[in-house]
């Protein structure tokens, strides 16, 4: 596998062979503490694109951002993160579900970057001609030249040094707890269900990623009734360090039964300027036990000053920055044909990067302002 880390190691080796031989126990101990699982939350304007890079340089990309006229933009942003990590290919691409903000730039990306393994929940459950056409032609051609897996809860995805367990897929959830976990979830009793979601969001592939003691939960756009199925009556995996907030921070996902039970230290919102960050979702996040910080990929007009985090924790503004953020949250425009265009953000895009250590500690960095915080 060609990547910056392995290149660096092979150049390093002959020059200091003697030193290494004399100091193996110390060098090994240092290498272990310095190894990180790097995670890039890439700004694709309210879509999904999360890159994991293992200490050995293995890669997992979850979702490929938006398509159509935005495919080139989002591909460039994903490639910028790959360049920063020093990786040139994708070992595993999980498409959480078949919505355009999650698989949109796949064709463009796969034409530029080798993708070895395509992972999904199976066919779309929605009747949408464009998606059907994509799955039957473009996607089929891509995975026939590579590896393809339709995952089931409980499956493992292999990435050296990293343990990746599928906990949700195709509206089914993991049916046995991870070893040593599975205690009753005290939030189940207060759960309020929502209208049944028979669309693609509920089909999302969700994974738990473990690197030593460091644990990350990423559930795509999973909606609340399936969160309940996953988390009740028993919490199958316990607590996590990092929660990639589901569904861009919208309140049709992110029920307390999930968000409060996992006791994440840090949550990151992959929101857009007018997608996610609504007051109901922010209240659930801010009141979550153990949460130290919420970070956001975007400023959200749906939060207003009343519900937003400090700018230090926000990676991207809109291009047309307002001098004063309104105190009250805006109500988003209704969707569909009559909706006004979203505020533009086509200039520099910034990611939020997480570096996780095997001992469970991690750092989070905002690439816009360089603000970094350590979570020991």
The answer for residues whose C-beta is within 8 angstroms of residue 88's C-beta and 6 or more apart is 2, 3, 82, 113, 114
- The answer to the question of residue 200 lying near Zn ion (CB under 5 A) is no
Comparison of 159 and 349: residue with beta carbon closer to Zn ion: 349
CA distances from 215 to 2, 97, 194, 211, 244 (A): 27, 23, 28, 7, 11
- Minimum CB distance to Zn ion, residue 244 (Å): 12
- Minimum CB distance to Zn ion, residue 278 (Å): 14
Comparison of 221 and 227: residue with beta carbon closer to Zn ion: 221
Comparison of 38 and 221: residue with beta carbon closer to Zn ion: 221
3-state secondary structure of 161: coil
Comparison of 98 and 307: residue with beta carbon closer to Zn ion: 98
DSSP state of 333: P
Are 118 and 139 spatial neighbours (Cβ–Cβ below 8 Å)? yes
Window 21-40: residues binding Zn ion (CB under 5 A): none
Q: Rounded distance, CA 222 to CA 125, Å?
A: 14
Comparison of 101 and 108: residue with beta carbon closer to Zn ion: 101
Window 151-180: residues binding Zn ion (CB under 5 A): none
3-state secondary structure of 337: coil
Q: Rounded distance, CA 329 to CA 232, Å?
A: 32
- Minimum CB distance to Zn ion, residue 271 (Å): 10
Q: In this structure, what token pair is assigned to residue 243?
A: 């929660």
Query: Among 38, 80, 101, 120, which residue interacts with Zn ion (rule: CB under 5 A)?
Result: 101
Q: How many residues does the chain have?
A: 376
Interface with Zn ion by CB under 5 A: which range of 64-72, 216-224, 289-297, 345-353?
216-224
Interface with Zn ion by CB under 5 A: which range of 17-25, 63-71, 219-227, 339-347?
219-227
- Minimum CB distance to Zn ion, residue 139 (Å): 18
Find the angle CA(256)-CA(266)-CA(321) to the nearest 5 degrees: 100
- Minimum CB distance to Zn ion, residue 220 (Å): 8
Interface with Zn ion by CB under 5 A: which range of 84-92, 121-129, 218-226, 352-360?
218-226
- The answer to the question of residue 80 lying near Zn ion (CB under 5 A) is no
CA distances from 228 to 168, 308, 348 (A): 12, 27, 38
Burial class of residue 6 in the structure, from the number of CB atoms within 10 Å of its CB (0-12 exposed, 13-18 middle, 19+ buried): middle
Q: Which residues pair with 147 in a beta bridge?
A: 117
Q: Rounded distance, CA 279 to CA 151, Å?
A: 34
Chain centre distance of CA 126: 23
Comparison of 91 and 101: residue with beta carbon closer to Zn ion: 101
- Minimum CB distance to Zn ion, residue 248 (Å): 6
Comparison of 35 and 43: residue with beta carbon closer to Zn ion: 43
Interface with Zn ion by CB under 5 A: which range of 5-13, 214-222, 266-274, 344-352?
214-222
Comparison of 63 and 91: residue with beta carbon closer to Zn ion: 63
# of chain residues touching Zn ion (CB under 5 A): 2
- Minimum CB distance to Zn ion, residue 145 (Å): 27
Interface with Zn ion by CB under 5 A: which range of 65-73, 94-102, 328-336, 345-353?
94-102
Helical residues (DSSP H) of 86-156, grouped into ranges? 100-103, 106-112, 129-133, 140-144
Comparison of 54 and 225: residue with beta carbon closer to Zn ion: 225
- The answer to the question of residue 221 lying near Zn ion (CB under 5 A) is yes
Name the strand (E) or helix (H) holding 92. Answer: strand 92-94
Q: Rounded distance, CA 259 to CA 227, Å?
A: 9
Interface with Zn ion by CB under 5 A: which range of 14-22, 98-106, 151-159, 294-302?
98-106
Comparison of 248 and 357: residue with beta carbon closer to Zn ion: 248
| Interface with Zn ion (CB under 5 A) | 101, 221
């Amino acid at each position: 596998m060609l990547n910056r880390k392995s290149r660096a190691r092979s150049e390093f080796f002959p020059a200091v062979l003697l030193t290494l031989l004399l100091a193996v126990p110390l060098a090994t101990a240092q290498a272990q503490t310095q190894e990180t699982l790097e995670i890039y939350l890439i700004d694709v304007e309210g879509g999904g694109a999360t890159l994991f890079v293992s200490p050995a340089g293995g890669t997992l990309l979850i979702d490929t951002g938006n398509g159509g006229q935005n495919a080139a933009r989002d591909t460039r942003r994903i490639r910028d993160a790959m360049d920063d990590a020093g990786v040139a290919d994708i070992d595993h691409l999980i498409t959480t579900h078949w919505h355009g903000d999650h698989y949109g730039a796949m064709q463009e990306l796969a034409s530029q970057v080798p993708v070895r393994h395509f992972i999904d929940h199976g066919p779309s459950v929605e009747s949408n001609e464009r998606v059907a056409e994509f799955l039957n032609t473009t996607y089929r051609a891509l995975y026939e030249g590579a590896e393809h897996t339709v995952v089931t809860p409980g499956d493992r995805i292999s990435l050296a040094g990293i343990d990746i367990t599928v906990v949700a897929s195709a509206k089914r959830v993991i049916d046995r707890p991870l070893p040593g976990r599975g205690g009753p979830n005290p939030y189940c009793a207060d759960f309020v269900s929502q209208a049944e979601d028979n669309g693609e969001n509920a089909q999302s592939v969700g994974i738990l990623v473990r690197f030593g003691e460091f644990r990350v939960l990423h559930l795509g756009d999973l909606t609340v009734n399936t969160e309940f199925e996953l988390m009740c009556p028993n919490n199958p995996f316990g607590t996590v360090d990092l929660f990639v907030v589901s569904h861009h921070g919208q309140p049709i996902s992110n029920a307390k039964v999930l968000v409060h039970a996992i006791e994440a230290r840090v949550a990151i919102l992959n929101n857009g300027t007018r997608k996610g960050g609504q007051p109901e979702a922010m209240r659930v996040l801010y009141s979550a036990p153990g949460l130290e910080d919420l970070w956001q990929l975007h400023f959200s007009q749906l939060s207003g000053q009343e519900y937003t985090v400090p700018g230090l924790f926000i990676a991207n503004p809109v291009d047309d920055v307002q001098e004063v953020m309104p105190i009250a949250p805006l109500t988003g425009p209704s969707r569909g044909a009559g909706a006004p265009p979203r505020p533009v953000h086509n200039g520099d895009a910034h990611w939020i990067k997480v570096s996780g250590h095997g001992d469970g500690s991690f750092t989070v960095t905002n690439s816009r302002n360089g603000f970094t915080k350590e979570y020991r």
